[in-house]
Amino acid sequence: MIGFDLTPEQKVLQEKARKFAKEVISPVAAKHDQEGTFPLEVMEKAHREGFFTPLVPKQHGGQGLGVLDNCIMSEELAAGCMGMYVSIFVSTLALYPIIRFGTEEQKERFLKPFCSKFSIASYCLSELTVGSDPASMKTTAVLDGNHYVLNGTKMWITNGGYADFYLVFATTDPQKKHKGIISLIVSSSLEGVSHGEPIDKMGQRASNTTAVTFKNVRVPTDNLLGGEGEGFKKAMAALDITRPMIAIGAVGIARTAMELASQYAMKRVQFGVPIARHQAIQFMLADMAKDIEAARLLVYKAAWLADQGIRNSKEASIAKAFAADMAMRVTTDAVQIYGGMGYTKWHPVEKLMRDAKVIQIYEGSAQVMRMVIARQLLLETEKRMASSS
Ligand SMILES: Cc1cc2nc3c(=O)[nH]c(=O)nc-3n(C[C@H](O)[C@H](O)[C@H](O)COP(=O)(O)OP(=O)(O)OC[C@H]3O[C@@H](n4cnc5c(N)ncnc54)[C@H](O)[C@@H]3O)c2cc1C
C-alpha cells in the first residue's frame, strides 16, 4: 500500500539538485547573505536547469513534474541556501494559478516565453496593512472598457525588483471582501508599475523583497485569470500546492543544521571527550533527526495528495506549520551545540537560524496555519457527529 523508495527519475532529480546546491548555491551563499544582494547569476543558471518551471507542463515548455517530485528536488536546493531557494520557488507560486486556471491562450502567451528565456515572476497578495487577512486588501482594479485600471501597493514581494511579470490580486469592490477579488497577470514593463528598494531583512537575505506599486496601470482584460470574484479561490488553491514546497525548504535548512551540528559535536572536545559523547548533546541531535524525518513525511503526504488531485488544505497546513516550527527548533539547537562559536558569523549555523524564522511568518503564519487546521478538523468532527446521530 505504501512505499518510500524514490523512483529512478526522482533519484536523478534529487542528485541534479544536490549537485547544483553544492556547486552553484553553497559557494556564494554566505557572500549574498552578508551583502544582502540578489544572486542573479545563480538564478539564471537555476532557470536553465528548469528549477524555475517544475510544475509547468512539458507542452508549455516546462518540466512537467508533480508536486512530490518537486519537493524531493527542492529540499536539496534549500539545503544549499533557503534565501536562494525561495527566490527560485516563488515563480512557481506565480505560475501555478496560470497552469491551473489559465486559458490555453494565456498559457501560450505567458508560460512558453517564461520557460524559453530567463524570466522571473512574482506573487503579489500582501499589502502593508493586509497580511494574514488578504480579503481586506486595498489594491483596486476598476473595469474601463477592455482594461482594468490597477491602483495600490503590494508589500513584501519576493523578487519584486526583478520580476518580468506579477500575479496581482486586487479587489473590484472592497465591500465584497474575498468575493470581490480578481487576479491579473501584470507585466512589469507597463506604465505605472514601480518597485521599492530591497528590504533589509533578518534572514533569507539573498532573496530580493520589495514593495511593488501600481499607479493607474492599464491591464488588458485578456490578462484576467478566471472570472471576476474568482481571485481569492485561486490564491488559496495555489497556496495548497506551494505550502508543501515551502515546508520542504524548512526540512532542507534543518538537515543542513543537523549535519553541521553533528560534525561539530564530534570534533569539539570538552571535559576530555568530544561533546557528541555527552548525552545531552546526543538528545538534541536525536530530536533533530526525528523531527526532520517527521516533517519530511508530512510534506511528502501533502504533496502526494496534491498529485492525486485530492484536496489537501489541512495536510498542507499541518506540514507547513510543523516543518517551520521544527526548523526553528533545530537551527536554534544547532547554535546551542556550537556554543559561543554558533553565535558568531564565523560559522554558518546562525544564518540557518535567521533563515528559518521567516518560514513561521510567510506563506501563512504559524497561527494562520493552525486556524486552517482547526477549521478543517472541526468541520470533519461536525460531519462525523451528524452522521452518527
Ligand atoms: C521575507 C518575506 C517574503 C514575503 N514574500 C511575499 C510574496 O512574495 N508575496 C506576498 O504576497 N507576500 C509575501 N510576504 C508576506 C507574508 O505572506 C506576510 O508577511 C504574512 O502573510 C503575514 O502577514 P503580516 O506580516 O502582515 O502579519 P500580520 O497578518 O499583521 O500578523 C501579525 C501576527 O499576528 C498573527 N495573527 C494574525 N491574525 C491572527 C488571528 N486571526 N489569530 C491569531 N493570530 C493572528 C500572525 O500570525 C502574526 O504572528 C512575505 C513576507 C516576508 C517577511
Q: What is the largest CA-CA distance in the chain?
A: 79
Q: What's the pLDDT score for residue 366?
A: 98
pLDDT band at 164 (very low <50, low <70, confident <90, very high): very high
pTM: 0.97
Q: What's the pLDDT score for residue 126?
A: 97
Is residue 61 within 8 Å of residue 116, measured between CB atoms? yes
Pairwise CA distance, residues 215 & 212, whole Å: 10
List the grid coordinates of 44.
539564471
Cα(210) to centroid(ligand 1), Å: 15
Helix boundaries (H) for 24-178:
26-35, 40-48, 67-80, 82-101, 104-106, 112-116
Q: What percentage of the chain exceeds 70 in pLDDT?
A: 100
pLDDT exceeds 90 at position 230? no
Q: Out of 90, 169, 362, 363, give the residue to mutate to test ligand 1, the one with the largest number of ligand atoms within 8 Å of its CB.
A: 362
Arithmetic mean of pLDDT, 176-204 = 96
Could you tell me the end-to-end alpha-carbon distance of the chain, in angstroms, rounded to an integer?
33
Residue 171's CB is within 10 A of a number of other CB atoms, namely 25
Of all protein residues, the one whose alpha carbon is nearest to atom 38 of ligand 1 is: 132
List the grid coordinates of 63.
518540466
pLDDT exceeds 80 at position 235? no
Atom of ligand 1 nearest to the CA of 125: 11
Is residue 146 within 8 Å of residue 108, measured between CB atoms? no
Q: What's the pLDDT score for residue 236?
A: 80
Cα(125) to centroid(ligand 1), Å: 10
Q: What's the pLDDT score for residue 193?
A: 98
Q: What's the pLDDT score for residue 2?
A: 82
Residues with a known catalytic role: 363
Q: What's the pLDDT score for residue 1?
A: 67
Cα(211) to centroid(ligand 1), Å: 14
Residues with CB under 6 A from ligand 1: 90, 122-126, 131-132, 156-158, 201, 204, 209, 358, 361-362, 365, 367-368
Pairwise CA distance, residues 221 & 83, whole Å: 34
Arithmetic mean of pLDDT, 130-158 = 96
Helix (H) / strand (E) containing 225: strand 224-225
Nearest 5°: the CA angle 321, 130, 128 is 110
List the grid coordinates of 284.
538534541
Amino acid at 346: W
Cα(322) to centroid(ligand 1), Å: 17
Residue 353 CA to its chain's centroid (Å): 17
Q: Out of 92, 201, 202, 365, give the residue to mutate to test ligand 1, the one with the largest number of ligand atoms within 8 Å of its CB.
A: 365
